């Protein structure tokens, strides 16, 4: 009986991995399709400075590893498994991006190799993130998923489990860092959708300083409301004896600063800050940080 059970377990492992692989491919397509159908990103793949693109591709590697440790194709228990899932996610992002760009006729056999490589590489970043998000967002209600969720709760990976949510004062610093990391991932993903468009620069030129201040205020209010006020799935609840400002100053404000920093980095990567006055740089970052803040808040709810 024991050998039969062992053989069944061995058969389940590749099956479970293949299911995760399918979810990853679906996630890469689902989350990457808005950018794969954006003309500005096609053009960016052609003219973006290669050292900036290379830096983005390199920075995406540790991001994927840390994200894989949280929501990989399978529940990971070692960094080696997280690296494996991150590598597979990157490969899926590259393959899906190349296939869809070829399907749309944006890359052809006679396309210069440098241009083809740039287009695929820049699209592979959001697609690879989407591949990893496929497990958490496209996962079914199978017993394996439920076991994963139970195991995560038992291991203490989700600080919202238990009796205090993320405002419990004795949380480990690793949990706090993980929250900031998830917000950075959410901000980056949404920023990659919006930053290549001309509308970001156009809006920043049309805004006055009062508009900028109002945008900052609304962005922060939306971030806090998403996570703590409105009853979305995954909403964080504060203990009754915890003052409102605890979570606001510990998570919301640092989260907005993270979204602003990610916005500046993405704008620089896409060359949107070149030959621009500091005031206009700040305006553009404030505009981009608006969707970035929403993405950061959504990441805390979903991941």
For the chain (303 residues), the mean pLDDT of every run of 10, in chain order, is 49 70 85 85 85 93 87 70 89 93 90 90 91 70 48 45 40 66 90 89 93 95 77 54 72 92 94 90 95 88 70
* DSSP-based three-state secondary structure for 165: helix
Closest Cα to residue 292, out of 224, 198, 193?
A: 193
Separation between Cα atoms, residue 11 and residue 31, nearest integer Å? 30
Task: Report the predicted TM-score, pTM, of the whole model to 2 decimal places.
Answer: 0.77
267: left (phi over 0), alpha (psi -120 to 50) or beta: alpha
Helix/strand number for the chain, H first, E second: 12, 0
Structure tokens at 242: 């915890």
* DSSP-based three-state secondary structure for 197: coil
At CB < 8 A and 24+ separation, what contacts does 197-206 make?
197/38, 197/40, 198/40, 200/267, 200/272, 200/284, 200/287, 200/288, 201/272, 201/284, 203/287, 204/280, 204/283, 204/284, 204/286, 204/287, 205/280, 205/283
DSSP 8-state class, residue 48: S
Contact yes or no for 130/303 (Cβ under 8 A): no
């Amino acid at each position: 009986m024991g050998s039969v059970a062992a053989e069944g377990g061995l058969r389940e492992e590749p099956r479970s991995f293949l299911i995760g692989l399918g979810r990853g491919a679906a996630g890469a397509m689902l989350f990457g399709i808005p950018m794969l159908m954006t003309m500005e990103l096609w053009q960016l793949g052609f003219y973006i400075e290669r050292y900036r693109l290379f830096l983005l591709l390199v920075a995406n590697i540790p991001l994927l590893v840390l994200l894989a440790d949280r929501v990989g194709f399978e529940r990971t228990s070692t960094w080696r498994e997280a690296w494996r899932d991150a590598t597979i996610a990157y490969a899926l992002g590259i393959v899906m991006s190349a296939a869809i760009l070829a399907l749309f006729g944006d890359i052809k056999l006679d396309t210069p190799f440098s241009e083809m490589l740039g287009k695929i590489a820049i699209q592979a970043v959001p697609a690879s993130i989407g591949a990893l998000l496929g497990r958490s967002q496209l996962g079914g209600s199978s017993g394996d998923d439920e076991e994963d969720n139970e195991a995560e709760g038992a291991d203490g990976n989700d600080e919202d489990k238990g009796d205090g949510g993320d405002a419990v004062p004795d949380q480990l610093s690793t949990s706090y860092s993980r929250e900031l990391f998830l917000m950075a991932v959410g901000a980056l993903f949404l920023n990659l959708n919006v930053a290549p468009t001309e509308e970001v620069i156009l809006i920043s030129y049309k805004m006055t300083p009062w508009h900028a201040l109002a945008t900052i205020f609304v962005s922060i209010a939306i971030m806090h409301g998403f996570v703590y006020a409105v009853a979305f799935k995954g909403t964080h609840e504060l203990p009754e004896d915890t003052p409102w400002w605890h979570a606001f100053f510990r998570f919301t404000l640092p989260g907005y600063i993270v979204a602003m920093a990610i916005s500046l980095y993405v704008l620089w990567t896409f060359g949107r800050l070149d030959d621009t006055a500091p005031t206009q740089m700040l305006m553009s970052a404030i505009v981009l940080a608006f969707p970035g803040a929403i993405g950061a808040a959504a990441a805390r709810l979903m991941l």
